[in-house]
Chains A and B, each alone.
Chain A
Amino acid sequence: MNRRLFTLAAAALAALSWSTEVLAADELRVMVHSSFSLPQPLLAQFEKQNGIRLAIIKGGDAGEMLNKLILTQAQPIADVVFGIDNTLVGKALAAGVLEPMLPQTQDAPDANLGAALAAVDYGFVTLNYDKAAVAKSGMDLPKTLQDLTLPAYKNWLVTPNPATSSTGYSFMLATISAMGEEPAFAWWAKMRGNGLKVVKGWSEAYYTDFARNKGAYPLVVSYATSPAAEVFYSKEKTHESPTASLNLKGGVFRQVEGVGLVKGGGQRATALKFVDFMRSTPVQEALQTAMWMYPMRAKTTRAEVMRYAAEPTEFEAPTAQVVAGKGAQWVARWTKVVLK
């Protein structure tokens, strides 16, 4: 008797699970990175307006996501991709995973992203510091990247590994772009000697090593919008962010993200509508506090909390060709210089 009950329960559970997973015949597969987030009502509205189901597929970190697209070129697993940024677009184009879009869908192709991607948002990878930790140390903030190599700032910086994190990758590119290849790697070597900590990704750096979260490092490679997020997600209502951006020359990277069509994917018409959707005003307004990026669309109302995230005025933005050509080489060299 128990056995029968058991098998019945199992069958019911299985049936229940499967029934809710019935894939609609019409669905638009959107490949995104793990930081993608938009309010559900907005997405639902898109689905209703276009009579199609949105199947969002999260592919991990942006670099990982692109690699998954490359690996599955022969049988694409998505129709649209969001999250390829200016550091990855060269690799994407060279691998041929993006389909060039018709000019009408773009008002002005972004110089950084080329014709195959429509820019959706941008952000800045920069250093963040914990105000309390810095105050406690009694020292002034470093004014240049070279300052960080001084003994006074030993064991101050934690960075994600460029090999495994697009955040770390962007930061590395910024240093190389500002200083030049040889001086940059010399700087990294000095940083290694000055107690630089390398971790896998942004979450690890921010939550386990950053001084704000009881770690030992007052400086972390993060985003210009992170201080605003700290206020947004703070426990008590506060008017000052516990962290702030430290924009050093050579330490700020401008990241532009875009959406594009996957070569070999389906649902072309709806896909183009999705591209427009991502650049529409409601989405542009929402993505500020959903994904903590700045909207690309001019004259979008800025969210209230974004005043804690002032945009850096100086930043590095190497061309896609340069990045595509030497990116992998630089990462390998970085690993050798800093880790091995």
Chain B
Amino acid sequence: MGSTLDQSGAQVTWPSMSSVVLPGWLRRSVWLGLLPATALLVLLIAPLGRLVLAGWAGDVNLPGAATATAWSFWSPWQDDYLRWRVLWSLAQAGITCVLAFALGLPLAWVLARFEFAGRTLVLRLLMLPFVVPTLVAALGVLALWGPHGVLSGWLGINLQNTPWLLLYGNLFFNLCLVVRAGVDALSQVNARQVAAARSLGATPWRAFWRVEWPSIAPWLMSSLCLVFLYCFAGFGLALVLGGQRYATVDVEIYTLVAHELQLGQASVLALWMLLLTGAVALVYAVLEKRLAAPSRVEPVERHTPQGVTQWLAVLAAFGVLFVICGLPILAIVWRALDAGWGTWATVLNTESRAALWNTLRFSALALLLATLLGVLHALAAQRSVLWRAAAFLPFVVSPVTVAFGLLLLYPGWTASLPLLLAAYAVLAYPFVAKSLAAGLDSLPPHLLHAARTLGASLQRTFWRVTLPLLRPALRRGMAFAAATALGEFAVTLFLSRPEWATLTTLIYQRLGHPGASSLDEAMVLACVLMLLALLAFLLIEWPVADRHGSRRSPTSAVSVGALRHA
């Protein structure tokens, strides 16, 4: 049963949220989570298990394979090379987290507390890095910082074969996660509590530390966990920007599985990865559950920056975002525009139009499925730590093992569209699940009790109260899920057919043969992809017109409810 504290601080027991929202028979997490659990089992766990089984039982005929040295479960730690790989993977993920936090929190604060022109646009554009295919992003980064890069030449530094390029690339992809989470978290802070703290003698910094920070910590930690997992399990970027020396463990797994069919060794590595990342996910889940607290809806209002320092802060925020997230995209757009009308014209031919249509419908279908899975998972995760950790599963299991495990398990279904879409939905739905879970956590249970007693049945309460209140969280999750579905980072691993070619596969195709126009076309296609993504974000997060809203006063900022945040 959930409990809150009443005015005197004593425990008041009220039925927990999920027991009010759902009838008894549905209440058990097991039932709610049936669909997501099946999806996870069938598409993630079973293939991984099958691969591990094949590796350990050795039932795959491997002609001419080098006789493997004695491999045990502890081999990754005994072999110098592998140990370095694993430790480096952990290190670069950790460093990226620290950097993302150090940069992301101030940025989020500026975006959440100040009102200025272009604020909404920045929030939308923030998500673009997610959509850019890895190789294209790498090209963008290299155009800036590579050996002949614009910035590296200007600053006179050589970043070749250093880990800095990789860290920059990691930040490019992941900073947006932290900033978005931070902005959402800061919008949930209760203004009255902050005001109370200030009136009790706390300086702005102390008020932040003692009131705002505890409130936003779960959200931030969630996103940092995600950043860690992405960087640790990241595949393509590390290889391109870091070179062989600074590549991650997943590259080893890919080599072992895809090219050497050394399933035994690969599965040992994959299991270790699973253990390490699973531990991170569990820690996060425990913390999130413990820190989850419903909050009163009283957002801290945004105000226009006053004074030089505040304006400088806004400019600095713009600057940092531009340098880290904006420049590589700008490099790509620049290259695309430089390609000339001729290239744009050829790119809009039948092949590209077909690819565009495919991208649209696959992403839309994957998004729908991901939303359904995400909602169910979030409802099931309300009271269960294990379920919350399970939401990370798609990030934790190496996509290489999944792709090949699927081949082993369901050879008849590979190269089939439903499986491909289901795979994308499974890879994308954790965003919806986690965003919703955070939203559900902060939903005051009294509202649902009130609705029930006013005559709304369970379903009616869900549709009339819960969902509208969760709509912003749902939209955020859907936006990220859409970005993942559009970005298709694992696309090259699955079997595909030319008629299913999407924009991403077309880009990789263009980069598969030489020629300046090939590169140009790839850039143009990447631009089209980003435009499509921007459109999708705009649609999903379309701000609801606040027709009935009241304004506190004409001079101060618009009173925008936290839950109608744009």
Does a CB–CB distance below 8 Å link A and B in the complex? yes
Chain B 165-222 interface residues, beta-carbon cutoff 8 Å to A: none
- Are B258 and A208 in contact, CB atoms less than 8 angstroms apart? no
Nearest residue (CB) in A for B408 is: A71
Cα distance, A329 to B62, chains bound together (Å): 13
Interface size class of A (residues with CB under 8 A): 35 or more
Cα distance, A90 to B411, chains bound together (Å): 24
- Give the Cβ gap from B306 to chain A, nearest Cβ, in Å: 40
Tell me if A318 counts as interface (CB < 8 A to partner B).
no
- Are A328 and B417 in contact, CB atoms less than 8 angstroms apart? no
Q: Which of B146, B149, B244, B517 contacts A234 (CB 8 A)?
A: B517
Cα distance, A199 to B259, chains bound together (Å): 15
Cα distance, A76 to B343, chains bound together (Å): 41
- Give the Cβ gap from A89 to chain B, nearest Cβ, in Å: 12
> In the complex where A71-B407, A71-B408, A204-B239 touch, is A229 in contact with B514 (Cβ < 8 A)?
yes
Cα distance, A67 to B143, chains bound together (Å): 35
- Give the Cβ gap from A222 to chain B, nearest Cβ, in Å: 7
- Are B61 and A56 in contact, CB atoms less than 8 angstroms apart? no
Cα distance, A203 to B498, chains bound together (Å): 19
Cα distance, A58 to B515, chains bound together (Å): 23
Residues of B within 8 A of A29 (CB): 415
- Are A222 and B520 in contact, CB atoms less than 8 angstroms apart? no
Tell me if A144 counts as interface (CB < 8 A to partner B).
no
Residues of A within 8 A of B527 (CB): none
> In the complex where A35-B512, A214-B143, A332-B66 touch, is A233 in contact with B518 (Cβ < 8 A)?
yes
- Are B495 and A234 in contact, CB atoms less than 8 angstroms apart? no
Number of A-B contacts (CB under 8 A): 186
Tell me if B142 counts as interface (CB < 8 A to partner A).
yes
Nearest residue (CB) in B for A163 is: B255
- Are A34 and B64 in contact, CB atoms less than 8 angstroms apart? no
Tell me if B368 counts as interface (CB < 8 A to partner A).
yes
Nearest residue (CB) in B for A236 is: B516
Chain B 226-259 interface residues, beta-carbon cutoff 8 Å to A: 236, 239-240, 243-244, 251, 254-255, 258-259
Q: Which of A61, A200, A212, A328 contacts B260 (CB 8 A)?
A: A328
- Are A17 and B148 in contact, CB atoms less than 8 angstroms apart? no
Tell me if B60 counts as interface (CB < 8 A to partner A).
yes
- Are B65 and A328 in contact, CB atoms less than 8 angstroms apart? yes
- Are B364 and A67 in contact, CB atoms less than 8 angstroms apart? no
Residues of A within 8 A of B81 (CB): 339-340
Q: Which of A35, A57, A95, A200 contacts B63 (CB 8 A)?
A: A95
Residues of B within 8 A of A55 (CB): 415, 497
Tell me if A96 counts as interface (CB < 8 A to partner B).
yes
Residues of B within 8 A of A325 (CB): 64
Tell me if A266 counts as interface (CB < 8 A to partner B).
no
Tell me if B548 counts as interface (CB < 8 A to partner A).
no
Chain A 94-136 interface residues, beta-carbon cutoff 8 Å to B: 94-96
Chain A 299-340 interface residues, beta-carbon cutoff 8 Å to B: 324-329, 331-332, 339-340
Chain B 385-433 interface residues, beta-carbon cutoff 8 Å to A: 404, 407-408, 411-412, 414-415, 417
Residues of A within 8 A of B339 (CB): 235
Cα distance, A215 to B515, chains bound together (Å): 15
Per-residue CB contact flags for chain A residues 231-249 toward chain B (1 = under 8 Å, else 0) read 0111100000001000000
On chain B, the number of residues with a Cβ less than 8 Å from chain A's Cβ atoms is 67
- Give the Cβ gap from A6 to chain B, nearest Cβ, in Å: 9
- Give the Cβ gap from B236 to chain A, nearest Cβ, in Å: 8
Tell me if B160 counts as interface (CB < 8 A to partner A).
yes
Tell me if A178 counts as interface (CB < 8 A to partner B).
no
Cα distance, A129 to B516, chains bound together (Å): 15
- Are B513 and A200 in contact, CB atoms less than 8 angstroms apart? no
- Give the Cβ gap from A272 to chain B, nearest Cβ, in Å: 22
- Are A56 and B519 in contact, CB atoms less than 8 angstroms apart? no
Tell me if A198 counts as interface (CB < 8 A to partner B).
yes
- Give the Cβ gap from A303 to chain B, nearest Cβ, in Å: 14
Tell me if B356 counts as interface (CB < 8 A to partner A).
no
Tell me if A72 counts as interface (CB < 8 A to partner B).
yes
- Are A60 and B492 in contact, CB atoms less than 8 angstroms apart? yes
Q: Identify which of A8-16, A181-189, A277-285 touches chain B.
A: A8-16
Nearest residue (CB) in A for B149 is: A214
Residues of A within 8 A of B243 (CB): 197-199
- Are B244 and A164 in contact, CB atoms less than 8 angstroms apart? no
- Are A233 and B514 in contact, CB atoms less than 8 angstroms apart? yes
Residues of B within 8 A of A90 (CB): 63-64
Tell me if A73 counts as interface (CB < 8 A to partner B).
yes
Residues of A within 8 A of B259 (CB): 61, 63-64, 67, 163-164
- Known contacts A72-B411, A91-B64; 15 additional CB pairs below 8 A are A3-B463, A13-B368, A16-B361, A58-B496, A77-B411, A94-B63, A199-B240, A200-B240, A202-B512, A203-B135, A203-B511, A207-B139, A234-B517, A243-B514, A292-B513
Identify the A interface with B (CB < 8 A): 3, 10, 13-14, 16-18, 21, 29, 34-35, 37, 55-61, 63-64, 67-68, 70-77, 90-91, 94-96, 161, 163-164, 197-200, 202-204, 206-208, 212-216, 222, 226, 229-230, 232-235, 243, 292, 324-329, 331-332, 339-340
A sample of 12 inter-chain contacts (CB < 8 A) reads A58-B496, A60-B258, A64-B259, A77-B415, A161-B255, A164-B258, A199-B243, A200-B239, A203-B508, A213-B519, A235-B516, A340-B81
